[in-house]
Amino acid sequence: MDELSKLRDKIDNVDNKILELLNERMHYVNEIGIIKQTSGTAIYRPEREKEILDRLKKLNKGMLNHSAIDAIYLEVFAVSRNLEMPEKIAFLGPEGSYTHQVAESRFGAMGNYIPLSCVEAVFHVLDNEEAKYGVVPIENNTEGAVGITLDCLGKFSSLIVAEIYMDIHHSFATLCENLKDIKRIYSHPQGYNQCRKFLEEHMLMDIEFIPTKSTAASAKKAANDPEAASICSHIAAKLYNLPILFEKIEDNLANKTRFLILSNFKNKPGVKNKTSILAKTEDKPGSLVRFLQSFQDESVNITKIESRPVKDKGFQAVFYLDFEGHIDDENVQRVLEKNRGINEIKWLGSYLSAGE
Ligand code: PRE
């Protein structure tokens, strides 16, 4: 037997063992699934998945790096959750959108996905129990907050169960061979605005911009329009067979978007938690200061504050806040207690902090 065949033989033996062990793992997963279904508890347990990943990374002495361990195990967890209970995942579509990419990174290639055309529809489907999970963008480090997501968090009952940060790279894709033949640029306004420097440098700012509901939808449109270009992900360009002329055209190469996974259960506290709330403070001088002071008094670190207009009330605002800690932490409970009867607070979820 030559060297290659010998090595392949060894790989076959290892694969046989991996398969046997994976099936043994699935046997225990299945038992857990039965317990969870009988007790009606959540299938998805991000804090347990993190605990497994952290333990494996510490134990690891071989050639696998941390990202490889993440990639392999995220797929194992996705298959496991699917075995415990196949659940539907609604996301801001269409297929090929950045949100789709994020959903797949958490729910795997075998997930039962429902692409929807707007953020509000994702929240609707969750409230109607037509899907168990929802994936939506909430903020980008160039363009800021996604207002509609903040508004929907206020209107609907879904809870944030996880956050994911993803690097966003845009491509300029078109059927035109020459830039000067382009008559229209399709993209989502956020994608378009994140590439202004590129557009200026290539003298494309005067070309008509046609906004689309998502960057993936813009790729689909441009694939059917020989005089158009799209600013989209390379995945969307490939999906719709649209040739890519330039890659990574975003102004900020550290361009990142934060996405939320929504569902209907409360996470158990993990190692490093984050909590999100919406707060409507009293319409009186100093009320916001007093509200923020209550966090300082209890040493709760606010990591984000964003204001949104209350649409039916002149110029009154509601505040979206992220802070460190879990809703069940004693100091967080004391903050809520101090504000009870004074400021209206809606808890949006406590979840593992993903870091950036
Ligand atoms: C398992 C699967 C899904 C959960 O999100 C966490 C872990 C796993 O595959 O290890 C098992 C499981 O359901 C559990 O430990 O609760």
The pLDDT > 70 percentage for the chain reads 99
- Which of 22, 31, 49 to probe ligand 1 with, by most ligand atoms within 8 A of CB? 49
Using the mean position of ligand 1's atoms as its centre, give its distance from the Cα of residue 257 in Å.
Answer: 27
Contact 45 CB / ligand 1 (< 6 Å): yes
Contact 220 CB / ligand 1 (< 6 Å): no
> Cβ atoms within 10 A of the Cβ of 66, count?
12
Contact 49 CB / ligand 1 (< 6 Å): yes
Using the mean position of ligand 1's atoms as its centre, give its distance from the Cα of residue 43 in Å.
Answer: 7
Contact 100 CB / ligand 1 (< 6 Å): no
pLDDT at 183 over 90: yes
Q: Which residues pair with 229 in a beta bridge?
A: 174, 185
- Which of 48, 73, 85 to probe ligand 1 with, by most ligand atoms within 8 A of CB? 48
Using the mean position of ligand 1's atoms as its centre, give its distance from the Cα of residue 84 in Å.
Answer: 9
Kindly list the structural domains of the chain, giving each domain's residue range(s) and its CATH number in brackets, ordered by start. Answer: 1-86 (1.20.59.10), 88-168+255-265 (3.40.190.10), 177-233 (3.40.190.10), 267-352 (3.30.70.260)
Closest CA to 230 of 204, 266, 256: 204
Q: How far is CA 79 from CA 84, 159, 161, 299, 313, in A?
A: 9, 23, 19, 40, 47
Q: Which tens digits make up the pLDDT trace of 153-179?
A: 999 999 999 999 999 899 999 999 999
- For the chain, the three-class secondary structure string (H helix, E strand, C coil) is CCHHHHHHHHHHHHHHHHHHHHHHHHHHHHHHHHHHHHHCCCCCCHHHHHHHHHHHHHHCCCCCCHHHHHHHHHHHHHHHHHHHCCCEEEEECCCCCHHHHHHHHHHCCCCEEEEECCHHHHHHHHHCCCCCEEEEEEEECCCEECHHHHHHHHHCCCEEEEEEEEECCCEEEECCCCHHHCCEEEECHHHHHCCHHHHHHCCCCCCEEEECCCHHHHHHHHHCCCCEEEEECHHHHHHCCCCEEECCCCCCCCCEEEEEEEECCCCCCCCCEEEEEEEECCCCCCHHHHHHHHHHHCCCCEEEEEEEECCCCCCCEEEEEEEECCCCCHHHHHHHHHHCCCCEEEEEEEEECCCC
Assign 315 a pLDDT band (cuts: 50, 70, 90).
low
Give the residue whose CA is nearest to atom 16 of ligand 1: 45
| Cα–Cα distance for residue pair 124/129, rounded to 1 Å | 9
Give the residue whose CA is nearest to atom 11 of ligand 1: 29
pLDDT at 213 over 70: yes
Q: Check residues 327 and 314 and name the one with the higher pLDDT.
A: 327
Using the mean position of ligand 1's atoms as its centre, give its distance from the Cα of residue 262 in Å.
Answer: 18
Highest mean pLDDT among 98-102, 184-188, 254-258: 184-188
Residues designated catalytic: 257, 259
Using the mean position of ligand 1's atoms as its centre, give its distance from the Cα of residue 48 in Å.
Answer: 7
Task: Assess contact for 263 and 314: CB atoms under 8 A.
Answer: no
Closest CA to 253 of 100, 96, 142: 142
> What's the mean pLDDT in 35-52?
93
| Cα–Cα distance for residue pair 245/179, rounded to 1 Å | 9
Residue 96 falls in which region: left (phi positive, over 0), alpha (psi -120 to 50) or beta: left
Assign 270 a pLDDT band (cuts: 50, 70, 90).
confident
pLDDT at 337 over 90: yes
Contact 230 CB / ligand 1 (< 6 Å): no
Assign 97 a pLDDT band (cuts: 50, 70, 90).
confident
Assign 115 a pLDDT band (cuts: 50, 70, 90).
very high
What's the confidence (pLDDT) of residue 28?
Answer: 98
Atom of ligand 1 nearest to the CA of 44: 5
Contact 106 CB / ligand 1 (< 6 Å): no
Residue 309's Cα: distance from chain center in Å?
24
Using the mean position of ligand 1's atoms as its centre, give its distance from the Cα of residue 41 in Å.
Answer: 12
Atom of ligand 1 nearest to the CA of 80: 9
Task: Assess contact for 47 and 267: CB atoms under 8 A.
Answer: yes
> What's the mean pLDDT in 101-130?
93
